[in-house]
Structure 1
Amino acid sequence: MLIRFTIENFLSFKERQTFSLLPGKGTLKSNHKTKSVKGISVLKTALVYGANASGKSNLIKAIEFGRKTVLKGTKAEQPINFKGFKLDSKYIKGNSYIEYEIQHKGKNYAYGFVFNSKEIIDEWLFEINKKTELKIFERSKTIDFDLSYILKKNNKKEEKQFIEFTAKGTPRNQLFLTQIRNTNVTDNVSDISDLLNIIDWFQNVLTVIYPSSKNIGKKFELLENTNLQQLFTEMLDYFDTGIEGIDFKNVDFDKIQIPEEIREEIKNDLLNEKSEKNNVFLSNPQDDKYYVISRTTDNELEAKLLKTRHKVEGGTFELFDLVDESDGTRRIMDLIPLIIDFFKGSNVFVIDEIERSLHPNLIKDLFEFILNKCEHGNSQLIVASHEATLLTQKLLRKDEIWFTVKNKVGATKLHSLEDYNVRFDKEIMKDYLLGRFKGVPKLGNRNNLTILPLIE
Structure 2
Amino acid sequence: MLLQFSFKNFRSFKDEAILNLTVKKNKGDAADDFFSFGDESVLPVTAVYGANASGKSNLYQAFAYMSNYVIFSFSYGDEKDNSETYAPTPFVFDSESAKEDSSFEVIFSIPKDETEIVYNYGFCLNKTGITEEWLNKKDKESEDYSLVFYRGGDQNELDLSGIPENSQQNIKVALEEQVLIVSLGAKLKINECKEIRNWFLVNRFTDFSSPVTDMLLTRSLPDNFIESREEQKSVVNFLASFDRHIEDFKIEEVAEYNGSKAYKICILYKINNSNDMAEIPLSAESAGTLKMLSLYHELKDVLEKGSVLFIDELNARLHPLLVRNILITFINPKTNINHAQLVFTAHDTWQLDNHVLKKEEVWFVEKDKDGKSQLYSLFDFSDVDDFDQDDYLLGKFGAIPELSRMEFNKCV
TM above 0.5, yes or no, is: yes
| 2-structure distance, mates of 1:90, 1:250 | 59
- The residue identity in structure 2 corresponding to 1:78 is N
Alpha carbons 2:204, 2:302 under 8 Å: kept? no
**Alignment partner of 1:144 is 2:157:** yes
Alpha carbons 2:349, 2:389 under 8 Å: kept? yes
Question: Of residues 350, 354, 357 in structure 2, which corresponds to 1:389?
Answer: 350
Query: Cα gap change, 1:91/1:145 in structure 2, threshold over 3 Å: closer, same or farther?
Result: same
Counterpart for residue 228 of structure 1: 231
In the alignment, structure 2 segments of 5+ residues that lack a partner are: none
SS at match of 1:361: helix
Query: Cα gap change, 1:366/1:413 in structure 2, threshold over 3 Å: closer, same or farther?
Result: same
- The residue identity in structure 1 corresponding to 2:283 is V
Length-normalised TM-score, structure 2: 0.85
Once the two structures are TM-superposed, the CA of residue 429 in structure 1 deviates from its matched residue by: 1.1
Counterpart for residue 145 of structure 2: 133
| 1-structure distance, mates of 2:144, 2:229 | 42
Counterpart for residue 308 of structure 1: 267
SS at match of 2:331: helix
Query: Cα gap change, 1:220/1:434 in structure 2, threshold over 3 Å: closer, same or farther?
Result: farther
Once the two structures are TM-superposed, the CA of residue 319 in structure 1 deviates from its matched residue by: 3.9
Once the two structures are TM-superposed, the CA of residue 382 in structure 1 deviates from its matched residue by: 0.7
**Alignment partner of 1:430 is 2:390:** yes
Alignment of 1:53-202 (within 5 A): 53-73=53-73, 75-76=76-77, 77-79=81-83, 80-104=86-110, 105=113, 106-128=116-138, 131-141=143-153, 142-151=155-164, 154=165, 159-160=166-167, 163-182=168-187, 185-186=188-189, 192-202=190-200
**Alignment partner of 1:208 is 2:205:** yes
Give a deviation string over 1:318-348, Cα, whole Å, max 9, x none: 5443221000000111111233234324111
SS at match of 1:10: coil
Counterpart for residue 400 of structure 1: 361
| 2-structure distance, mates of 1:427, 1:244 | 40
Query: Cα gap change, 1:241/1:453 in structure 2, threshold over 3 Å: closer, same or farther?
Result: farther
- The residue identity in structure 2 corresponding to 1:131 is E
SS at match of 2:13: coil
Identical aligned residues as a percent: 26
Counterpart for residue 372 of structure 2: 411
Alignment of 1:226-375 (within 5 A): 227-240=230-243, 242-248=245-251, 255-256=259-260, 306-311=265-270, 315-372=275-332, 373-374=334-335
Give a deviation string over 1:152-194, Cα, whole Å, max 9, x none: xx4xxxx24xx32323321211111222233xx23xxxxx332
Query: Cα gap change, 1:253/1:24 in structure 2, threshold over 3 Å: closer, same or farther?
Result: farther
| 1-structure distance, mates of 2:325, 2:34 | 20
- The residue identity in structure 2 corresponding to 1:366 is I
| 1-structure distance, mates of 2:71, 2:253 | 32
Say which is worse superposed, 368-377 or 8-17, in terms of deviation: 368-377
| 2-structure distance, mates of 1:71, 1:219 | 23
Give a deviation string over 1:62-95, Cα, whole Å, max 9, x none: 0000111111126333112321000111111111
Once the two structures are TM-superposed, the CA of residue 229 in structure 1 deviates from its matched residue by: 2.2
Once the two structures are TM-superposed, the CA of residue 256 in structure 1 deviates from its matched residue by: 4.4
Length-normalised TM-score, structure 1: 0.77
Alpha carbons 2:87, 2:128 under 8 Å: kept? no
- Give the count of matched residue pairs: 387
Give a deviation string over 1:96-127, Cα, whole Å, max 9, x none: 11001111133210111000011100011110
| 1-structure distance, mates of 2:247, 2:61 | 37
Give a deviation string over 1:399-453, Cα, whole Å, max 9, x none: 11000001121111111010113454x232110010111111110244xx36257
Once the two structures are TM-superposed, the CA of residue 215 in structure 1 deviates from its matched residue by: 3.5
Say which is worse superposed, 95-104 or 338-347, in terms of deviation: 338-347
